[in-house]
């Protein structure tokens, strides 16, 4: 088994320098998989997947601005577009973690979707494949729970803000991790508590409210992303290319499948079995 390194890298965008925390493992000569987390998590959510992939792939998982252990400077505006620009520089910049010219596989979860679809739109030749876990790029994929976020994006009133702040509570975080899980006693409380620790950090509430307020910018780009990925149609058809180059793995589990030991093994095995074929390695 390959070691996992816990690292930081300074990334400067628009004269603002971020200290990006990331986990890296595997030989850099192997194909690269970039793991991009969502709300309210961090690269910590990929800890168990990394160790299952790192004998076959070069794996990198970074904390987005405002999440985990990444530190961003005063004056930085927390939006999905700005997070994508920081990620683009971190991954593909002159001193990026991805070897020059290499096309990568991007595993996306939740917020990782809108960050990565922006990145793909501006760097289409650097993306060889997507692995999608509960990320969305279709209006039809917006669950009813998203309506309150849409409302907040349209009107940051006190009433709407209270609804958003409810999403930052321990009860909501716990529900995100446990809802839909076949065996909640197998879900590590460390995952829940590490996310809540971040949300409880002074000032982080304003960061998350900024992301909530900006979420409608993602919806406005859905058509553009569908065109840039070469797919259009129903929500279920977003990632369909053709039967030879697509694999679906349906997991009966919760929003964080990698916290479910059975789903974790199925996901890892599916990647190890099917990704080389999809990449035509």
CATH code of residue 230: 3.40.50.1820
Mean pLDDT taken over the chain: 93
Residue 164 lies in a domain: no
Helix 80-92 to helix 112-122 angle (10° resolution) is: 60
Residue 197 lies in a domain: no
Residue 74 lies in a domain: yes
Residue 239 lies in a domain: yes
Residue at token pair 């990698």: 258
Domain count, the chain: 1
pLDDT one-digit tens code per residue, 94-122: 999 999 999 999 999 999 999 999 999 99
pLDDT one-digit tens code per residue, 31-70: 999 999 999 999 999 999 999 999 999 999 999 999 999 9
- Report the percentage of the chain scoring pLDDT > 90: 85
Residue 183 lies in a domain: no
pLDDT one-digit tens code per residue, 176-204: 999 999 999 999 999 999 999 999 999 99
Burial class (CB in 10 A: 0-12, 13-18, 19+), 83: buried
Contact present, 54 and 4 (Cβ < 8 Å): yes
Length of the chain: 281
- At 239 the pLDDT is 52
Alpha-carbon distances, residue 217 vs 22, 82, 222 (angstroms): 26, 12, 9
Where in the sequence is the domain holding 37, given as residue range(s)?
Answer: 4-142+217-278
- Structure tokens of 166? 């409810």
Other beta carbons within 10 Å of 4: 16
Residue 221 lies in a domain: yes
Residue 123 lies in a domain: yes
- At 240 the pLDDT is 55
Residue 39 lies in a domain: yes
């Amino acid at each position: 088994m390959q070691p996992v390194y816990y690292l930081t890298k300074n990334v400067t965008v628009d004269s603002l320098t971020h200290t990006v925390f990331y986990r890296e493992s595997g030989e850099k000569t192997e194909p690269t998989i970039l793991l991009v987390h969502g709300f309210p998590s961090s690269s910590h959510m990929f800890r168990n997947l990394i160790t299952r992939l790192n004998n076959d792939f070069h794996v990198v998982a970074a904390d987005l601005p405002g999440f985990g252990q990444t530190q961003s400077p005063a004056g930085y505006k927390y939006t999905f577009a700005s997070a994508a620009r920081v990620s683009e520089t971190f991954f593909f910049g002159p001193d990026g973690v991805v070897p020059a010219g290499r096309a990568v596989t991007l595993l996306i979860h939740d917020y990782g979707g809108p960050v990565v679809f922006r990145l793909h739109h501006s760097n289409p030749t650097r993306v060889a494949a997507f692995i999608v876990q509960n990320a969305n790029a279709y209006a039809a994929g917006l669950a009813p729970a998203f309506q309150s976020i849409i409302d907040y994006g349209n009107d940051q009133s006190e009433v709407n803000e209270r609804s958003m702040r409810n999403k930052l509570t321990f009860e909501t975080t716990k529900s995100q991790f446990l809802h839909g899980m076949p065996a909640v006693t197998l879900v590590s409380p460390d995952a829940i508590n590490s996310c809540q620790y971040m949300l409880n950090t002074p000032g982080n509430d304003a960061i998350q409210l900024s992301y909530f307020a900006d979420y409608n910018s993602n919806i406005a780009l859905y058509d553009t992303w569908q065109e840039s990925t070469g797919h259009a149609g129903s929500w279920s058809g977003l990632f369909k290319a053709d039967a030879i180059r697509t694999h679906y793995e349906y997991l009966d589990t919760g929003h964080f499948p990698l916290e479910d030991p059975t789903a974790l093994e199925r996901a890892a095995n599916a990647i190890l079995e099917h990704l080389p074929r999809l990449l035509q390695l």
